[in-house]
């Protein structure tokens, strides 16, 4: 069978979201300056779908730094992979600053979060090892698991008994040259709940293993100093390998992994997506350093983020919506419903109320369930929140009527 003909009969699992919904439900174009107010299809929107948690991307001083760094270095420099000709003092300085920020000894810059953690997982384990991961781990971890040659097993989401079962199984099978790597998330991005890191770490007392935590949503937003979920849960020292991305709180492309110097030295020589890829451009590195500095200097950004999160969440609960008990700024609203209802909610909020939200239905969440995910940021204000709550109150009867058809 011709490969292209085969692809035509193998549609995306997102189904109608990527076919009839192209340009609206998927691949929408938000236009204008980045921030909580943007345009969609020519209409003004209050936007709750971008992960610029601290409002860094819309900060005027940051925009000026971006322009100056680009003028100074150009987007071309440095050319080549860091292993060859693409290294610089700026890259190494940023790595030191990132390591210090998350309370680790050393760090490695990565060009992309998704690709980076895939390669890190692939590099860390071999065919003699055991890889154990949470069932709700992000797709990048699942893909990294697919690349890894280790024996793989999955535990039920945040279920310590299920984790113990897989850990004890690996411990019973391991040989003298076998190791165990556990991978989970600091913050689970769709639901906003935190990983059970302290419970997992405590089991190191029984079975030796190393823990890798993907803290994409926790980096910059959680902990007294923004250093992430481990700090929030008072167990950062128990995280052996910490992964953070710039795509959320730093509002930039790029990522990093932090650990002991011997581990980082190994990864720099074995993470193939970095060895064989062009170095991060110097303007990106320079502005990342400044953004990290400003995040350290402005704890009030996190305070504003959390104040907005609580106002939005409490308002939705007061109206009568089922808001999942998220422990992060991620605000998931759950209802019964079909893919059609998910699309209807997004469309009505956008067209009738000027509120841009994103939602998912089956197969991202179980069949018969709709999840609308709102991402508050420090750049939102009370007027944005009030307008949004008014809109959700206006559609509540419609949502309840449609949801009742599922349960009937």
Write the pLDDT tens digit of every residue in 396-407.
999 988 888 776
Is 19's pLDDT higher than 90?
no
List residues bridging with 194 in a β-sheet: 187
Counting DSSP H helices and E strands in the chain, the numbers are 14, 15
Q: For residue 161, what are its two tokens?
A: 């008994």
Query: What's the whole-number mean pLDDT along residues 82-99?
Result: 96
Query: What order do you get walking across the sheet with 180-185 strand by strand?
Result: 106-110, 255-259, 241-245, 210-214, 180-185, 130-134, 151-155
Q: Does domain 3-54+299-407 have CATH number 3.90.1150.10?
A: yes
Contacts of 151 (CB under 8 A, 6+ apart): 129, 130, 131, 170, 173
Is 408's pLDDT higher than 60?
no
Q: How many CB atoms lie within 10 A of CB 137?
A: 19
Q: What is the longest distance spanned by two Cα atoms in the chain? A: 64
Burial 319-347 (b: 16+ CB within 10 A, else e): eebebbebbbbbbbbbbbbbbebbbbbbe
Mean pLDDT of the chain: 93
**CA 230, CA 242: separation in Å to the nearest integer?**
9
Q: With cut-offs at 50, 70 and 90, classify the pLDDT of residue 9.
A: confident
Element (H, E) at 35: none
Query: What's the whole-number mean pLDDT along residues 353-360?
Result: 94
**Do 3-54+299-407 and 60-297 have matching folds?**
no
Q: With cut-offs at 50, 70 and 90, classify the pLDDT of residue 17.
A: low
Query: What's the whole-number mean pLDDT along residues 148-170?
Result: 96
* 121 in Cβ contact with 99 (< 8 Å): no
Closest CA to 373 of 22, 51, 136: 51
Class of domain 60-297: alpha beta
Pick the range with the lowest mean pLDDT from 39-48, 174-183, 254-263, 335-344.
Answer: 335-344
**DSSP three-state, residue 83:** coil
Query: What's the whole-number mean pLDDT along residues 246-256?
Result: 97
**Percent of the chain whose predicted confidence (pLDDT) is above 70:** 97
**Residue 407: what pLDDT?**
60
Beta strand ranges found along 146-290 (DSSP E): 151-155, 180-185, 210-214, 241-245, 255-259
The ranges assigned to domains in the chain are 3-54+299-407, 60-297
**CA 269, CA 266: separation in Å to the nearest integer?**
5
**Residue 321: what pLDDT?**
95
Please tell me whether the peptide bond between 363 and the residue prior to it is cis, using omega within 30 degrees of 0: yes
DSSP label at residue 34:
S
* 239 in Cβ contact with 197 (< 8 Å): yes
Q: With cut-offs at 50, 70 and 90, classify the pLDDT of residue 360.
A: confident
Predicted TM-score (pTM) of the model is: 0.94
Q: What is the dihedral of CA 165, 170, 173, 178, to 10 degrees?
A: -170
* 189 in Cβ contact with 229 (< 8 Å): no
Q: How many CB atoms lie within 10 A of CB 33?
A: 11
Q: With cut-offs at 50, 70 and 90, classify the pLDDT of residue 18.
A: low
Pick the range with the lowest mean pLDDT from 3-17, 117-131, 168-182, 183-197.
Answer: 3-17
Pick the range with the lowest mean pLDDT from 85-89, 270-274, 338-342.
Answer: 338-342
Q: With cut-offs at 50, 70 and 90, classify the pLDDT of residue 62.
A: very high
337: region left, alpha or beta (phi > 0 left; psi from -120 to 50 alpha): left
DSSP label at residue 252:
S
**CA 41, CA 117: separation in Å to the nearest integer?**
35
pLDDT tens digits for range 304-332: 999 999 999 999 999 999 999 889 999 99
Query: What order do you get walking across the sheet with 37-40 strand by strand?
Result: 30-31, 37-40, 43-47, 355-356
């Amino acid at each position: 069978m011709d490969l292209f003909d085969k692809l035509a009969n193998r549609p995306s699992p997102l189904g109608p979201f990527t076919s009839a919904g192209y340009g609206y439900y998927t691949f929408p174009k938000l236009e204008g300056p980045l921030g909580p107010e943007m345009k969609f299809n020519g209409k003004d929107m209050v936007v709750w779908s971008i992960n610029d948690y601290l409002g860094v991307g819309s900060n005027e001083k940051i925009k000026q730094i971006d322009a100056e760094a680009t003028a100074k270095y150009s987007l071309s420099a440095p050319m080549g992979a860091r292993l060859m000709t693409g290294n610089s003092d700026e890259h190494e300085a940023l790595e030191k600053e990132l390591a210090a920020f998350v309370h680790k000894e050393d760090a490695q810059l990565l060009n992309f979060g998704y690709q980076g953690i895939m390669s890190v997982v692939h590099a860390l384990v071999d065919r003699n090892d055991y890889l154990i991961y949470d069932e709700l781990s992000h797709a990048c971890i699942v893909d990294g698991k697919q690349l890894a040659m280790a024996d793989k097993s999955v535990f039920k989401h945040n279920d310590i008994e299920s984790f113990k079962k897989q850990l004890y199984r690996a411990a019973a099978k391991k040989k003298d040259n076998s190791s165990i790597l556990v991978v989970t998330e600091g913050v689970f991005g769709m639901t906003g709940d935190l990983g059970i890191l302290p419970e997992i770490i405590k089991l190191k007392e029984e079975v030796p293993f190393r823990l890798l935590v993907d803290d994409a949503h926790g980096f910059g937003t959680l902990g007294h100093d923004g250093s992430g979920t481990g700090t929030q849960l008072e167990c950062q020292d128990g995280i052996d390998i910490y992964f953070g991305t710039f795509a959320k709180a730093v509002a930039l492309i790029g990522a990093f992994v932090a650990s002991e110097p011997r581990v980082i030295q190994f990864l720099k020589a074995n993470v193939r997506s970095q060895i064989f890829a062009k170095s991060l451009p110097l303007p990106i590195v320079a502005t990342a350093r400044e953004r990290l500095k400003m995040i350290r200097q402005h704890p009030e950004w996190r305070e504003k983020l959390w104040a907005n999160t609580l106002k939005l969440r409490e308002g939705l609960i007061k109206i009568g919506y089922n808001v999942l008990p998220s422990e992060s700024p991620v605000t998931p609203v759950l209802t019964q419903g079909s893919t059609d209802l998910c699309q209807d909610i997004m469309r009505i909020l956008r067209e009738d109320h000027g509120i841009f939200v994103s939602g998912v239905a089956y197969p991202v969440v179980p069949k018969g369930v709709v999840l609308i995910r709102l991402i508050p940021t420090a750049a939102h204000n009370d007027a944005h929140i009030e307008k949004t709550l008014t809109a959700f109150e206006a559609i509540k009867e419609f949502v309840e009527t449609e949801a009742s058809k599922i349960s009937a």
